[in-house]
């Protein structure tokens, strides 16, 4: 793995001392959204790697080089880009905390595949660009940020939407990336049968998973898609994918032979049902099924237009579920660099 302490070039062209996408978000009607508290100024820095790949890093305004910060890796959907991912996820909202800390967020930038006529895509799909190494890119992102900023190596996380969600699922399945990333959150992931994110999944150990999906999603269908259903091949019913993670992580099943792990189900928001499996703490699996939501990152602001006409939820996934989930999980890094997954005992708000 190429360690990119081979200095990434900081392109401060994009060092917008901006009030982040969250602070300037507009509602569906076009009216300005006024945040509940004054937004702090954060900094966006664009990194240009020696491989010619780029990513966008958001740095909290309170950053102190003497303090180690969590790092979130966030991956856009096919055709998207790092700035759009920053906008729809609201991860740069300065009020957010992971384990009580502000955090660094690296928004990845996918590559094109001219043979398929696809722009800005990730590994783990039939249309992936096989001439580039997205896995090395992820390792390079981590090492590049850690070379310039103080990163808490025990608190590196990954999330993504659509094709970026499928890529996040792939990272959870790989022994190398699951050994350095503490928890994974694929949102409306594009999952394809026969790919590494669905079959031949071999994580380094139990990998905490948080999944959210709209029932009205017509891009990555909640109930899956047959080979005759269009798109890029058969796609699994996401409920099967969830169950397989529960099995993989050793979640409890009934005692009779062949029994599958079954989740406890509760309505956590009107029309939003959360499934929570009885798992070892280090292998937490939970999932949100959102009625009435399309192919969108769940948010009351409706910023993710890929979900039209059903892009608005009645809750904010990032602030009400994602950062809490990440807060519960970290890796313990021993002196010999072996890593063990642990879960925080206390519920961190």
Residue 305 CB neighbours (<10 A): 14
Distance (Å, rounded) from C-alpha 261 to C-alpha 283? 13
Q: Let me know if 37 is exposed, middle or buried by CB neighbors in 10 A (0-12, 13-18, 19+).
A: exposed
Average pLDDT of the chain, as a whole number: 84
Nearest to 240 by CA among 255, 228, 224, 256: 224
Cβ atoms 141, 106 nearer than 8 A: yes
pLDDT of 284 higher than 50: yes
By residue count, the chain amounts to 349
Query: Could you tell me if residue 96 is inside a domain?
Result: yes
Dump pLDDT digits (tens) for 148-167: 999 999 999 999 999 999 99
Query: Could you tell me if residue 2 is inside a domain?
Result: no
- Strands 209-214 and 151-161, by their bridges, are unpaired
Residue 37 tokens read as: 């508290």
pLDDT at 334: 59
Query: Could you tell me if residue 171 is inside a domain?
Result: yes
Cβ atoms 78, 119 nearer than 8 A: yes
Distance (Å, rounded) from C-alpha 230 to C-alpha 210? 27
Query: Could you tell me if residue 3 is inside a domain?
Result: no
Domain of 258, in residue numbers: 9-26+39-343
Tell me the average pLDDT across 283-288: 97
Distance (Å, rounded) from C-alpha 279 to C-alpha 265? 14
Lowest mean pLDDT among 107-121, 142-156, 201-215: 107-121
Contacts of 177 (CB under 8 A, 6+ apart): 135, 138, 139, 158, 171
CATH of the domain at 134: 3.40.50.1820
Query: Could you tell me if residue 32 is inside a domain?
Result: no
Query: How many structural domains is the chain composed of?
Result: 1
Dump pLDDT digits (tens) for 1-37: 443 333 333 333 333 443 333 333 332 333 333 333 3
User: pTM for the whole thing?
Assistant: 0.85
Dump pLDDT digits (tens) for 220-239: 999 887 665 555 656 788 99
Query: Could you tell me if residue 292 is inside a domain?
Result: yes
Identify which of 13-17, 122-126, 254-258, 290-294 has the greatest average pLDDT: 290-294
pLDDT at 35: 33
Sign, CA dihedral 142-21-167-253, equals positive
Query: Could you tell me if residue 123 is inside a domain?
Result: yes
Cβ atoms 233, 126 nearer than 8 A: yes
| 325 Rama class: left (phi>0) / alpha (psi -120 to 50) / beta | alpha
Residue 175: band (very low, low, confident or very high) from pLDDT cuts 50, 70, 90:
very high
Query: Could you tell me if residue 253 is inside a domain?
Result: yes
Tell me the average pLDDT across 261-282: 95
Distance (Å, rounded) from C-alpha 162 to C-alpha 80? 10
pLDDT at 342: 63
pLDDT at 8: 39
């Amino acid at each position: 793995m190429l360690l990119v302490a081979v200095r990434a070039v900081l392109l401060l062209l994009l060092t917008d001392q901006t009030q982040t996408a969250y602070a300037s978000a507009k509602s569906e009607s076009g009216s300005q959204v006024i945040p509940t508290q004054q937004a702090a100024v954060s900094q966006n820095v664009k990194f240009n790697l020696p491989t010619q790949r780029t990513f966008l890093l958001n740095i909290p305004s309170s950053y102190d080089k003497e303090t180690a910060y969590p790092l979130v890796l966030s991956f856009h959907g096919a055709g998207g880009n790092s700035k759009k991912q920053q906008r729809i996820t609201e991860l740069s909202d300065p009020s957010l905390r992971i384990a009580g800390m502000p955090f660094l967020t690296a928004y990845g930038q996918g590559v094109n595949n001219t043979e398929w006529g696809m722009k800005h895509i990730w590994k783990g799909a039939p249309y992936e660009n096989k001439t580039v190494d997205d896995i090395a890119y992820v390792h390079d992102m981590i090492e590049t940020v850690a070379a310039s900023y103080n990163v808490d190596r025990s608190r590196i996380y990954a999330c993504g939407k659509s094709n970026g969600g499928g890529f996040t699922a792939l990272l959870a399945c790989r022994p190398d990336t699951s050994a350095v990333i503490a928890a994974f959150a694929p949102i409306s992931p594009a999952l394809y049968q026969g790919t590494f994110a669905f079959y031949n999944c071999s994580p380094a150990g139990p990998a905490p998973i948080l999944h959210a999906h709209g029932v009205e999603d017509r891009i990555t269908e909640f109930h899956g898609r047959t080979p005759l259903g269009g798109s890029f091949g058969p796609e699994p019913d996401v409920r099967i994918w969830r169950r397989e993670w529960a099995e993989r992580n050793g979640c409890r099943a009934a005692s009779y032979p062949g029994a599958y792990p079954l989740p406890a189900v509760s309505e956590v928001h009107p029309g939003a049902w959360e499934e929570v499996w009885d798992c070892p703490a280090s292998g937490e699996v939970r999932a949100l099924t959102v009625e009435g939501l399309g192919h969108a990152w769940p948010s009351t602001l409706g910023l993710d237009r890929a979900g039209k006409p059903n892009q608005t939820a009645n809750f904010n996934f990032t602030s009400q579920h994602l950062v809490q989930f990440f807060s519960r999980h970290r890796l313990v890094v021993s002196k010999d660099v072996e890593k063990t997954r642990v879960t925080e005992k206390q519920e961190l708000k």
